[in-house]
Amino acid sequence: MGPIFTLNARGNVMLEVMRDYFKLDNPAVKIEIQTSHLKMQEILASKGFKYSNLKSALVPMIDSDKHEVGFIFDSQYIDSSWYGYEVAQAIIPLLDKRTNQSVLCGDLIGGNQQFIFEIIEESLVLSRSFKFVHGSLLYCVYVNNLSCKLLERLHAELANFRPYVGFIPANYSSRAKIYLSTILVNSFLKHGNHVIMGHEDDRPNTENVNIVGLPFEEFGYQISSLQSIYFDLFLSYKIERPVYSGFEVDTEMSLNAITDQIIPLEGCSILVEDAKHKYLLSEKGGKLCKAGIEDIGRNELETLIQSKITASYIYNLVYLEKYNVYKFNLILEISRPDMDDPVKFLVAIEYKPEEKVLRVLTLY
């Protein structure tokens, strides 16, 4: 079985409800996840897509030349009650038909308007003067995997659209990024000039339906859809955020996708073997230097990774049968006082539940 790029049990409770209602054990849940994942790939293949080609839209990026942002629009300046459609007409033609992106949407909802005002004030890159009235009047379109050039183009071209306010950068952890991760919902995945989305679970997967109703065809995009049970679990991008109390099931299900043995990651010790430590210092020295940890000791590196283990979700889940290795990736952000932005590392981890050990395979 190939890798599962991402599994979304954070925004979709189907697996959790199924497990609890039917009192399923871990082996049964693993079978259900793997069977569903294979079925999803079969559906995609029947529509002309390879799951492996969608990876860049489904996993977080560490490349500083790639961006994810939340574009903010003021619905007060849109006459139609379906302001999402008007925004889509402005933004869809500006996207690059050669690239992959996941797109999430939603109003900036919440009872604490002072908090919403504060994150707008501290994070928004303005396009024009703007007066905050109420969060629910602001509509966000969140797009990942944007090149610097495409982001600049979108920001410049959208400035001609009166409702456009500006964008919230979300490359690195922030209060704004965490907030957006709690209120936005996945709308569609763009793969080149194709748009993939979910449709009703009682509709056959042989059909292709533009269930969100946005004007994709008007701008030359082709629509493909599949039952939401598959789209929501395996084709929905998760905005990075720490693992908060009450949401641990997302990590549990991600691990259960590749193994029957589930233990809390924070209860595992981190292992950086001597040879691996020397390799990282010699071969990854440039990146370590950028983060200000070029001389970090093995124990210090283990402690650092341990402290960040629940700072984001795990992804790229795979069981390497040839080596009997359970593996996943996570993102590590390291801040330093003399730099505006943190340094991002991808850490590949071997999960060894019998020993309660997370063995570092590589870091870059």
Which tens digit of pLDDT belongs to each residue from 175-216? 999 999 999 999 999 999 999 999 999 999 999 999 999 999
User: pLDDT at residue 52 above 90?
Assistant: yes
Stretch 303-332: mean pLDDT: 95
What stretches of 60-200 adopt beta strand conformation (E)?
Answer: 66-74, 100-107, 125-126, 138-147, 164-169, 185-191, 194-199
pLDDT grade for 86, boundaries at 50, 70 and 90 = very high
- Mean pLDDT in residue range 220-239: 98
Do 175 and 137 contact (CB within 8 A), yes or no?
no
Contact 106, 185 (CB under 8 A): yes
296 residue type, one letter: I
Mean pLDDT for 72-91 is 97
> Once rounded to an integer, what is the mean pLDDT over residues 66-79?
97
pLDDT tens digit sequence for 234-260:
999 999 999 998 889 999 999 999 999
Which string of b and e fits 199-213 if b means at least 16 CB within 10 Å? beeebebeebebebe
Asked whether the beta carbons of 249 and 126 are under 8 A apart, the reply is: no
Average pLDDT for residues 295-303, to the nearest whole number?
93
Per-residue pLDDT, 35? 98
SS3 216: coil
308 has pLDDT over 80: yes
Contact 328, 317 (CB under 8 A): yes
What local confidence, expressed as pLDDT, does residue 1 receive?
Answer: 75
pLDDT band at 11 (very low <50, low <70, confident <90, very high): confident
- Residues 316-343, mean pLDDT to the nearest whole number: 92
> Is the predicted pLDDT of residue 126 greater than 80, yes or no?
yes
Rounded mean pLDDT, 153-172: 97
Supply the mean pLDDT for the chain. 96
SS3 for 15? helix
Please answer whether residues 341 and 62 qualify as being in contact, where contact means their C-beta atoms are separated by less than 8 angstroms. Answer: no
Cα gap 108→294, rounded to integer Å:
41
